Amino acid sequence: MKKLNENQYIRSIVLKRDSIPSFNTFPFHLPSIRTLDELSFHPNVTFFVGENGMGKSTLLEAIAVAIGFNPEGGSFNFNFSTYDSHSSLDKYLRLVKGIKKPKDGFFLRAETFYNVATNIEELDREPVPALRIIDSFGGTSLHQQSHGESFWATFTNRFRGNGIYILDEPEAALSPLRQLSMLARIHELVCRNSQFIIATHSPIVMSYPNAKIVELTEEGIKEVSLEETNHYSIMKQFFEDKNSLLHHLLNE
C-alpha cells in the first residue's frame, strides 16, 4: 500500500463558490454541492456513497470531466458525444493535483457504457489503425458479451496501472462474486501506483481496506466508516433478521 500523498494524482477538489451564479439551480442546489468547500481524496481509494438523488454521479461526473475524461466515459482519448446531458459543475471545480501525472486513466460508468462500446466498434471499423482498440479490452466485442462480462473485460484488460480511475456504480453489472474479485483487482492496481474514485451502493465494493468513504446526505458531505453507512446497516439487518424485516415490509 502506498504512503499518504505518494503517487497521488488528485489530492482534492475546491468548489469555486464565488463564481457560481446561483445555488438555487441544478446541480448547485444539491446539499452535497451547496455545502461543499474543499473535498480531499485518499491517495488510493475514495468512495462516494449515499441514497439516490444525493448527487454522487453528478459530482463524480464533474470530477471526471475536470480531469479530462469524456462525460460518457472511456479513456482520455475518447471524445464522442451521444447525448450532451452532463451538468456545468466541472467548470466550477478546481483540481488540486499531485506532483506526478497519471500514465493511464479511465472513466467507467454503468449508464453510458453501451455508448463507449459502440464508439470502440465505430473507430475499429475505420481503415487507419494497425491495432484495434478492442484488443486492449480483451479482443472480444463488448457488445457480444453480457453487460457484466464486458464490464469485467474492461476492468481486467484495459486498466493498466499508474493511472487515475473513476468508476460510477461498477457493481451494477457485477455479481457478488465478481465484486469480490473486483476488490482484488483494485488492490493490484493500487499497488501499481493507481488511484480510484468510486461511486457505489455496494457494501462489498466499499469494504476495500483503509479507503475513504464520503457519504452524501441531505445535510451535505461527511466522512464515515463502512459500518456507519446505511448500505451496510440495512444489509446487516436483512441477513441477521430477514424474516422479521420481510414480515414488516410485506404486511404494512
Which CATH number fits the domain that encloses residue 184? 3.40.50.300
In this prediction, residues 3-18 reach a mean pLDDT of 81
Does a cis peptide bond (omega within 30 degrees of 0) precede residue 27? yes
User: Do the beta carbons of residue 105 and residue 75 sit within 8 Å?
Assistant: yes
User: Contact at 8 Å (CB) between 163 and 132?
Assistant: no
pLDDT at residue 81 above 80?
A: no
Q: Which helix (H) or strand (E) holds 108?
A: strand 104-109
The predicted model gives 27-53 an average pLDDT of 95
Residue 151's pLDDT is 86
- On the question of pLDDT at 3 being above 60, the answer is no
What whole-number distance in Å separates Cα of residue 46 and Cα of residue 71?
20
Distance CA 180, CA 118 (A): 28
- Give the per-residue pLDDT at 80: 67
**Residue at 223 is within a domain:** yes
| Range name among 146-155, 163-172, 228-237 with the lowest pLDDT average | 146-155
59-72 residue pLDDT tens: 999 999 999 998 88
- In a domain, residue 132? The reply is no
Percentage of the chain lying above the pLDDT 90 cut: 63
Q: Work out the percent of the chain whose per-residue pLDDT is above 70.
A: 92
The answer as to whether 123 is a domain residue is: no
Q: Note down the domain range covering 245.
A: 10-113+159-250
Per the listing, cell 500514465 goes with 103
Copy the grid coordinates of residue 172: 451494477
Q: Tell me, what's the pLDDT at 206?
A: 96
pLDDT at 204 over 80: yes
Q: Does residue 2 carry a pLDDT above 90?
A: no
Q: Give the count of domains, the chain.
A: 1
User: If we measure between CA atoms, which residue out of 82, 88, 92, 7 comes closest to residue 44?
Assistant: 7
Q: Which amino acid is at 193?
A: N
Q: Using DSSP bridges, classify how beta strands 93-97 and 10-15 pair: parallel, antiparallel or unpaired.
A: antiparallel
Confidence (pLDDT) at 153: 87
C-alpha 196/C-alpha 102 separation (Å) is 12
Q: Is residue 150 part of a domain?
A: no
Residue 126 lies in a domain: no
